[in-house]
Amino acid sequence: MAATATGVYHTSYASELRLRHTNAERFRLVLMIVGLLALPWTVNAYWLGIVNTIGIAVIGAVGLNILVGFTGQISLGQGGFLAVGAFTSALLARAGVPVPLAMLAAVLMTAAVGAFFGLPALRLKGLYLAIATIASQEIIVFVVRRWGWLTGGQGFLDVERLTLFGWRVPRHSFEFVWYWIIAGLAVLAVISARNLFRTALGRSFMAVRDQDIAASAIGVDLARTKLIAFAVSSGYVGLAGALTSHYTETVTWERFTIDVSIQYLAMIIVGGLGSVAGSVYGAAFIMLLPPLLAELATLVRGFAPFVADQLPAVQAAAFGLVIVLFLLFEPRGLDRIWQRVKDYIRFWPFRY
Amino acid sequence: MRRLLLAGAASAALVLAAGCGGPGGSAGGDGGEKEIVIGVIADLTGATGDVGTPYNEGMLAYVDYLNAQGGIKGHKIKAISEDYAYKVPVAEEKYRKYVSEGAVAIQGWGTGDSEALRSKVKDDELPFMSASYAEVLTDPAQSPYNFVVAPTYSDQMRVALDYIAAKDPTAQVAVFHHDSPFGTAPVADGEKWIKDKGYQLGYKAYAMKTGATDYIGLLQQAKDQGAKYIVIQNVSSPAAVVARDIAAQQLDMTIVCLNWCADELFIKTAGTAAEGHLMVQPFAPPGANKPGHQPIREYAQSKGIDLDAKGLHFVQGWYTMHVMAKGIEKVLEDGKEVTGPNIRAALESMPAVDTGGVIGPVQFSADSHRGSTASGIYQVSGGKLTEVAAAVVPKS
Amino acid sequence: MTEFIQLTVYGLANGAVLALAALGFVLIYKATRVINFAQGELLLVGAYLFYTAFVLLRLPLVGALVAGVAAAAVLGVAVERLVLRPLIGEDPIAVIMVTIGLAAVLKATVQMFFGTAPKAMPKVLPAGSVAIAGAPVPLDRLLAVGIAAVVLAGFTVFFRWSRHGIAMRAVADDQQAALVQGISIRRVFALAWVLAAVSALIAGILLADISEVSQNLAGFGLVVFPVVILGGLDSVPGTIVGGFVIGLLSQYAEGLAPGASQVVPYVALVLILLLRPYGLFGQVRIERV
C-alpha cells in the first residue's frame, strides 16, 4: 500500500552504503538489467546501431555532467576532448598496440589534456570559463585539421575492424558484439560515477560548485579539486572518443566540432544537471530524437511532405526547441520529471 | 497491492516496447521480378546542398526513366534516397539503414562520407560510387569497392596545367583550395606533374578560409608570387568571391576552376566578374548539346523540368547512376545473382560505357577504378560556358 | 604599402560589421546579464528579413529597411518575453543553453523557409572601387565602414544623452536602485533585446551586401566572443575598439599566413583571458560569498 512508509531507516553501516535502499528501487534495477540483456535480441541491426551510439553518448554525457553538473565548471570543449581520445586510440592501434590498451592510453591522455585545458578554470568562472572552453575547442579542431602528421596527410584516419586476441569482429554480428562492449563499459562508467559522489573527492567537487570561496575556507584545495575534476571528466569523454573511433572505424575532425559540444551540453541539461541517471536519460533522449523524427517524417509523408523534404532542418529545429522547452518548463530535466512521477505514485493519495 | 499492480503494468509495458523492434527488412517487389535496392546518400540541405540537390534529382530522374522502360531486364530499381546534410555521422547512420534494408550498391556524395564509408563498404562488400573524385578512391588495392566515374581532381589539375603550359610556358600558378582533404587532393599531384613533364611553371598552394567574405589576403600573396593563373579547387560560392575580388582589384589574373566551381552557379554568383575565366569540367553542360544530352532532354520535357535551369549537375547525377545500372545489367546478362561482389566484378569487366559525349567513355578494370580521364575546357563568355577544347586528357 | 592599405580597409570593414554585431551582445549583457549565444543567428535572420522585404516583396530600399527594422523589433520583443523572462534568476548555464537552443531554432527556421543555397540580392551599396594612395579599394567596403560608424556613434549618443539610454545604464548598474527611481525593468529588458535585434539586422544587411545572403552569416556569431572579451563585456566603446582590432588582426594574419586567420581570434581570446580577463574597458567584478 502506498503512503505508509515514513522513511527509509538503516540499522547498519552496510545497509546505509547500499546503492538501492527500497524494494521498489531493487525491482526497477532488476527490470533494467533484464531489459539490457534482452535488448540486442529484440531490435534489428539498424536500431541496435542507434542504441550503440546512445551507449557511447552516455559515457560522454556522464563525464560532462561530472564537470558541469557536479563541479559547476561550464565547458564547451567536449568536441575537442573527444577528438583527443579518438585520435590517441586510433593512432596507437595502428601502431600495433592491442585495442584495450590503446583505449586505456586514450583515457589517460585525454585526462592529461583535460587537466591542461582546465588551467583557465583556476582564474575564470562562469561565462568567461565557457568562452575560454569555446576557444580551446576551436583551437583543438584547428590543430587536428591542419596537423598533417596525425592523419598522414590524408585528412582522416582509417581504423581497422576491432580484433580482440586474434578474433576479428564478424560483419554480420557487428552491432551485436559492439553492444556488449559498449553496454558493459557504459554500466561501468555509470556505477563508477555514482560511487565517485559518495567519496570525499566527489563531495569536494560539489562543494566547489555550490560555493567555491566558502569551500576553500573549509579546506578544499580549489586548484587541485578543479584540475582533478577536469581530468576525471575528460577521462570519461576520452573513453567515449576512443570507442567512437573503433566503432565507426574512421576518425575525421567533422565529428568533433562545436556542434557536438553543444549536443552533449543539451544531453545533460535535458537529462538533469548534477545527476548521473539524468545523463543517461538525456543521452538517450537527444540521440533518439533524429531517428524518431525520421520515422515520423516517413509516416506523415502523405499529408505533410514538408517534414520529409526538410528533415535535417526539422531535426535541428526540434533539437533547439527541446532545449528551450525543457529549460522553460522543467529546468531540472528528465531526472526531475521521473522523480515527480515516482513521488506522485509513492505519496498517493497525498499531495506531498 | 497497488504497488504490485503498478509493477506488473510497468513490466508489461517494457516487454511491449522491447517487442516492437525497428523498421523491418526491405519490402520485396509486388508481382514481377525482384527489386534491386540501391541506397543513395545525398546532400540536399547541407553545406553543398545547392549542387547536391540537382545531382540527386538527376540520379533519381534516371531511376524513374529506367523503371518506366521496365527496369534492368525486368527488375525495377528501388532507390532509397535520403538527405544527410553533409554531416558524416548522419551518412554513416543512413548507410547502416540501407544495409539493413538490403541494398546491393550505394551512391554517395562528398569526400567526407566517401572516405568514412570506404572501409565499411570494403567489409560489407558493396560497390560505392560518389561525386568525390579523389585519386585515392581509384586504387583497388586501397579502395576495392569504390568506383570513380569522372576524372579525378588530380587528372583535372593535370589537364589544367597542360593547358596553361601550352599557352604560357613560364607562368606562375597559384592554387587556391578548400581547407580540407577535398581541397588538398590535387595539390601534391599537380606539383609532381610539373616536375615530371619538365614544365617551367611556378606553383604555390594556398588554403581558402571557410566562410570568408573576401580573399584579399590570398590574392595579395598570389600577386607577390606574380601569379597569372589561379587554379581553384573549391565549390562555386568561394570561387565567385575570388572572382569578384579580382575584378574589384583590377588584377590581371585568370581563374581556372576545377569541376566543383566550374558550373552555372559560379557564373550566376560572380555575375560579370566571371567573364573570361576558364573552367575544367568533365561533364558537358546541357548547353553544349551533346548527343548524350538527348535522352535527358526528352525526359525533362515530358516531366516539365527545365534542364538548362537544373544545370550540369543534373546530367552528372544521371550518368553516374547510368554507369552503375550498366554494371547491374551485365550481372544479369551473365545470369548471376545481383549481389555486391558480383556487381563489382561486372563493373570491372564490362565494356566501355558510351555516354554520348557528355563524359568520355567510362571503363573500369581490375587494376583501376578510374572511369575516365578526359575533361572539357570551357571559357565563360557572355554569361555562358563556351567550349574551348573537348575531351582533353592529361599528356602522356 | 598598397597591400597594407587594402588589408587595412578590408579589415576595418569586417571589424565594423563585427562591432555592430557585438554591440547587440553587449547591450543585452549590460541590461540583463544574459549571454546571448544567438547573436550570429540574429544577424542571419536580420539579413533574410531584409532579403524578403527587398527582393521577395519588392519594397523600395527605405521601405524594406523600415519593414526589416520593424520585424526585427518584433522578434526581439517576442524572444525576450517568451524565452528569457521566464528564466530570470536561473542558473547561468541554463540561460546560456536557452540562447543556444534559440540559435538552433532560428537557424533551422531560416533553412526551412529559404534553403541553404546562397540567395542573389541586388547590391545596396554601390559597386566600383576608389583609389586610396594608389591602392584600388572597393567602394562598398568603405561605405560599410562609414555606415557602421554612423550607427555606432548614434548608439553611443543614445546611451549618453537620451532618457531611455540613461535608464538602460541605470538598470545595468543596479537594478533595485533603478526600480526605486521608477524605471520599468521589463521595458528596459525588452528595449535591450529590440536594440540588439536591430543592430544585428543592420550588421546582417551590410555583411550580406559585401558577401552574400547565405547560412554562412551565422558563423560570425562565434567571432563575436573574442571581440566582447577584448573590449569588456559591459562596455560599448570597448566593443567598438574590440571589433576593429579583431577585424584588422584577422585580415593581417590572412595576409601574412593564410589559413591561420581562422584561429587567430581564438588565440587572441585565450591571451586576453589570461592577461586581462575583464577586457580593455570592462569593469572588474568583485565576488562576495
Q: Could you tell me whether strands B128-129 and B146-147 are parallel, antiparallel, or unpaired per DSSP bridges?
A: parallel
Distance, in Å, from the CA atom of B353 to the CA atom of B371, rounded to the nearest integer, reads 9
Confidence of residue B26 (pLDDT cuts 50, 70, 90): very low
- Interchain proximity A131–C103, CB inside 8 Å: no
Contact status, residue C17 vs residue C190, Cβ threshold 8 Å:
no
Task: Classify B243 as helix, strand or coil.
Answer: helix
Judge whether residue A62 has pLDDT over 70.
Answer: yes
The number of beta carbons lying within 10 Å of the beta carbon of residue C63 is 13
What's the confidence (pLDDT) of residue B135? 83
The number of beta carbons lying within 10 Å of the beta carbon of residue A152 is 12
Asked if the C-beta of C146 comes within 8 angstroms of chain A's C-beta atoms, the answer is no
Task: Classify C224 as helix, strand or coil.
Answer: helix
Confidence of residue B71 (pLDDT cuts 50, 70, 90): confident
Residue of B13 and A302 predicted with greater confidence: A302
The number of beta carbons lying within 10 Å of the beta carbon of residue B389 is 13
Q: Which residue of B has its CA nearest to A251?
A: B116
What's the confidence (pLDDT) of residue C105? 94
- Interchain proximity B221–C116, CB inside 8 Å: no
Torsion of CA A192, A195, A200, A202, to 10 degrees: 60
Q: Which residues contact A2 (CB under 8 A, 6 or more apart)?
A: A345, A346, A347, A348, A349, B2, B3
Report the phi/psi class of residue A273: left, alpha or beta, with left for phi > 0 and alpha for psi in -120 to 50: beta
Mutate to test the interface with B, among C254, C256, C263, C264 (most CBs of B within 10 A): C254
Q: Which residues contact C93 (CB under 8 A, 6 or more apart)?
A: A68, A74, A130, A269, A273
Residue of B119 and B232 predicted with greater confidence: B232
What's the confidence (pLDDT) of residue A281? 95
Which of B297, B284, B294 shows the shortest CA–CA distance to B377?
B284
What's the confidence (pLDDT) of residue B4? 56
Q: How confident is the model over C153-161, as a mean pLDDT?
A: 87
Q: How confident is the model over C52-57, as a mean pLDDT?
A: 87
Judge whether residue C73 has pLDDT over 70.
Answer: yes
- Interchain proximity A139–C267, CB inside 8 Å: yes
The CATH code of domain B153-281+377-392 reads: 3.40.50.2300
For A198-221, what is each residue's pLDDT tens digit? 899 999 999 999 988 899 899 999
Contacts of B115 in chain A (CB under 8 A): 154-156, 250, 252
How many residues make up chain B in this entry? 396
Q: Give the nearest partner residue to A35 out of B14, B23, B89, using CB atoms.
A: B14
Confidence of residue C197 (pLDDT cuts 50, 70, 90): very high
Q: Give the nearest partner residue to B220 out of C6, C212, C216, using CB atoms.
A: C6
Of A107-111, B124-128, C80-84, where does the model show the most confidence?
A: A107-111
What's the confidence (pLDDT) of residue B27? 38
Contact status, residue B109 vs residue B41, Cβ threshold 8 Å:
yes
Distance, in Å, from the CA atom of A166 to the CA atom of A152, rounded to the nearest integer, reads 26
Judge whether residue A155 has pLDDT over 70.
Answer: no
The CATH code of domain B36-151+289-365 reads: 3.40.50.2300
Contact status, residue C233 vs residue C26, Cβ threshold 8 Å:
yes
B40 CA: distance to closest CA in chain A (Å) = 15
The strand ranges marked E within chain A are 157-158, 163-164, 167-168, 250-251
Confidence of residue C57 (pLDDT cuts 50, 70, 90): confident
For B158-180, what is each residue's pLDDT tens digit? 999 999 999 988 889 999 998 77
Contact status, residue A338 vs residue A312, Cβ threshold 8 Å:
no
What's the confidence (pLDDT) of residue B15? 43
Residue of C174 and A280 predicted with greater confidence: A280
What's the confidence (pLDDT) of residue B5? 55
How high does pLDDT run on average in chain A?
A: 88
Q: Give the nearest partner residue to C254 out of B211, B217, B248, using CB atoms.
A: B217
Confidence of residue A272 (pLDDT cuts 50, 70, 90): very high
Asked if the C-beta of B136 comes within 8 angstroms of chain A's C-beta atoms, the answer is yes
Q: Tell me what ipTM this predicted complex has.
A: 0.85
Judge whether residue A47 has pLDDT over 70.
Answer: yes
Judge whether residue A189 has pLDDT over 90.
Answer: yes
Judge whether residue A154 has pLDDT over 70.
Answer: no
Any idea which of B165-179, B209-223, B280-294, C154-168 has the lowest mean pLDDT?
Answer: B209-223
What's the confidence (pLDDT) of residue B59? 93
Contacts of B83 in chain A (CB under 8 A): 311-312
For B345-357, what is each residue's pLDDT tens digit? 999 998 989 888 8
CA distances to B140, B184, C32, C98, C170 from C88, rounded to whole Å, are 61, 49, 9, 12, 18
Judge whether residue B99 has pLDDT over 90.
Answer: no
Confidence of residue C130 (pLDDT cuts 50, 70, 90): confident
Judge whether residue A152 has pLDDT over 80.
Answer: no
For A309-349, what is each residue's pLDDT tens digit? 788 888 889 999 999 999 999 989 999 999 999 888 888 88
Asked if the C-beta of B145 comes within 8 angstroms of chain C's C-beta atoms, the answer is no
Q: Which residues contact C263 (CB under 8 A, 6 or more apart)?
A: A138, A139, A142
Contacts of A130 in chain C (CB under 8 A): 35, 93, 96
Contacts of C108 in chain A (CB under 8 A): 313-317, 319-320
Q: Give the nearest partner residue to C270 out of A74, A132, A266, using CB atoms.
A: A132
Q: How confident is the model over C243-269, as a mean pLDDT?
A: 83
Contacts of C214 in chain B (CB under 8 A): 237
Q: So where are chain B's domains?
A: 36-151+289-365, 153-281+377-392
Q: Which residue of C has its CA nearest to B178?
A: C259
What's the confidence (pLDDT) of residue A254? 81
Judge whether residue B1 has pLDDT over 60.
Answer: no
Q: How confident is the model over B90-107, as a mean pLDDT?
A: 88
Confidence of residue A66 (pLDDT cuts 50, 70, 90): very high
Chain centroid to Cα C31, Å, comes to: 16
Burial pattern A182-194, b for ≥16 Cβ within 10 A else e, equals bbebbeebbeebe
What's the confidence (pLDDT) of residue A30? 92
Judge whether residue C27 has pLDDT over 60.
Answer: yes
Judge whether residue A6 has pLDDT over 90.
Answer: no
Asked if the C-beta of C10 comes within 8 angstroms of chain A's C-beta atoms, the answer is no
Confidence of residue B147 (pLDDT cuts 50, 70, 90): very high
Q: Would B36-151+289-365 and B153-281+377-392 be classified into the same CATH topology?
A: yes
Q: How confident is the model over C58-72, as a mean pLDDT?
A: 90
Chain centroid to Cα A249, Å, comes to: 20
Judge whether residue B16 has pLDDT over 50.
Answer: no
Judge whether residue C207 has pLDDT over 80.
Answer: yes
Contact status, residue B24 vs residue A43, Cβ threshold 8 Å:
no
What's the confidence (pLDDT) of residue C233? 82
Q: So where are chain A's domains?
A: 21-257
Q: How confident is the model over B100-111, as a mean pLDDT?
A: 89
